[in-house]
Structures are given as C-alpha cells and as structure tokens.
C-alpha cells in the first residue's frame, strides 16, 4: 500500500515521526520540512506521530529525513 496519493499536480505523502509530544514539536518538524523545495504544505500531529506533506512532486526521503533530524526528531518512514 502506498502512502502517496497524487491529485491535481500535487503529491500527498504521510510520514511517521517519533518523538513529537506537543505543538512546539509539530511546529519544529513542520518548519524544517516546509523548507524543502517543492513543499506546498505540512501538517504534523504529535498525538499520532504523523506528518502529512503536500508537494509538487514526490520528495527525496533523505531530504525529509535530514529535515526531521534537524528539528531534533527521527523519521520512522512512510505511514
């Protein structure tokens, strides 16, 4: 099962991130991922550990991993 769906020229991917526990965590992860070229929107939810990213094209998972690491958390993989 793929974690990516493509609609109207954009790709939505859901990632699992470990370590988020509050709104500040969500903001840190969202802010770092939002800096990746092509990202249109990011929604992180600490309670589920899921980060939904809408981008113009599929993202390089290593770029996402690096952004999550920079925020101080760990990318588990795609949900």
pLDDT digits (tens, 9 = 90+) for 65-79: 999 999 999 999 998
Digit-coded pLDDT (tens) for 32-44: 999 999 999 999 9
Q: How far apart are CA 37 and CA 40, in angstroms?
A: 9
Per-residue pLDDT at 5: 62
3-state class (DSSP) for residue 77: strand
What do you get for the CA distance between the two ends of the chain, in Å? Answer: 10
Indicate whether 53 pLDDT > 90. yes
Indicate whether 6 pLDDT > 60. no
Q: The pTM is what?
A: 0.89
């Amino acid at each position: 099962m793929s974690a990516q769906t493509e609609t109207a020229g954009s790709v939505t991917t859901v990632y699992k991130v470990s370590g988020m526990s509050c709104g500040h965590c969500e903001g840190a992860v969202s802010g770092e991922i939002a800096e990746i070229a092509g990202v249109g929107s990011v929604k992180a939810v600490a309670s589920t550990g899921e980060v939904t990213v809408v981008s113009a094209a599929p993202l390089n998972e290593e770029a996402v991993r690096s952004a999550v690491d920079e925020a101080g958390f760990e990318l588990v993989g795609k949900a």
